[in-house]
Every structure is written in C-alpha cells, then in structure tokens.
Amino acid sequence: MDLYKQAQRFNNRIKRIEKNIEELKKSNNNLVLKCKKLHPDAIIPKYQNEGDAGFDFYALVDNNLKYVVVDPKNQIIIRTGISCTIPKGYEIQIRPRSGLAYKNQITITNSPGTVDSGYVIPNEIKIIVYNLSNKNFFIKNGDRIAQGVLSDVKKAIFEEIFEIIEEDNSRNRGGGFGNTGIS
C-alpha cells in the first residue's frame, strides 16, 4: 500500500474517532469544559469515580517548599493553575471536600463559591481555604483541595411591586431568620 493511501486511511480513522467523541460529549447531558493550564505543574480537574457529582480541584503550590501552611482559624487563597471556559447558562460551584472537612476541619470560606461563565481564560480559578481546627494544616502541591460541580443557572427577572397582594402574603409563614428553632 502506498503512502498516500495509508495517510487517507489514517485521516478517515481520525474523523471517525472525532465523530465518536462529539457524540459522547452530547450524550448523558455531558458538557465540555475547556481548561487551560496556566502553569506546567497544574492538574486539570477530574472526577475520581463514575457517577460523582463533583470533580476535584488540585492545589498548585509554586514555591521552593512545594507546600503551604494554613494556620489555625485562618484562611488562605490556594491557586489551581487552571482556567476554564464555562458555557453560558452554567456555573462551577466550588465546595469543600467532605473528607477534609470531617478529618481536618478544612472548609471553603465562601461555600459554595461560584465561578461564573464570564470568568474566562486567562482568569485563574483560586480556592479560599479556611482552617477551622486548632492545628496547622499543610497543603502540598497536587493535593485535592476542593470539588467543583457544574450547575445550570436560571436568570431571575426582577419586577418592582408597590403593594403585597393577598396571594403573595398567604405564603408568609411569619418569623424570620432562625424562627423555627433547632428541634
């Protein structure tokens, strides 16, 4: 077989593979998040298991020690070294990892944090980590520090009103912040 025919077959295989990838992207309500590494040590987020709602964000610690310390009762911003293009009508919610929260009392200060679709490349996704414990917590380069959930966003249409009608008022349960107690 001559070189030209081999190249043609190869190109046809590539086209079939690309078509299959496009079909997979469209199936099961999957969306493609295009991510760019802004640093060579950055790790692209990924799901650990099939069926997981959240994907992991990895710490990028760009210093000689390759770790940072979160002091007790303090917070720091952790780099991820990545930027993503988020489709319009979606957001990435940044949430704590349950294992870090339970075992080490590490949480995300503004949980859930929101990365809007307008926050695009080259804007780096960063995580605000808070240490609720009384011990120093060490974050190493490549540690899984938070999880992200891709969520669709509905836009509100705000309408100013000048009086509350009976229908709107009938749903008012009264009270306010914390009025239902804890038991």
Reduced to 3 states, what is the DSSP secondary structure of residue 28?
helix
Residue 78 belongs to a domain: yes
What's the pLDDT tens digit per position in 111-152? Answer: 999 999 999 888 999 999 999 999 999 999 999 999 999 999
Q: Which CATH number is 91's domain given?
A: 2.70.40.10
Please state, in angstroms and rounded to a whole number, the distance separating the CA atoms of residues 111 and 94. 7
Residue 115 belongs to a domain: yes
Total domain count for the chain?
1
Please state, in angstroms and rounded to a whole number, the distance separating the CA atoms of residues 43 and 3. 38
* pLDDT value at 161 more than 90: no
Query: Which residues 6+ apart lie within 8 Å of 149 measured at CB?
Result: 53, 54, 55, 92, 93, 95, 112
What's the pLDDT tens digit per position in 57-108? Answer: 999 998 888 899 999 999 999 999 999 999 999 999 999 999 999 999 999 9
Residue 33 belongs to a domain: no
Residue 7 belongs to a domain: no
What was the pLDDT predicted at 13? 80
Summary mean pLDDT of the chain: 88
Residue 15 belongs to a domain: no
Residue 38 belongs to a domain: no
Provide the domain limits for residue 142: 52-155
Residue 25 belongs to a domain: no
Residue 141 belongs to a domain: yes
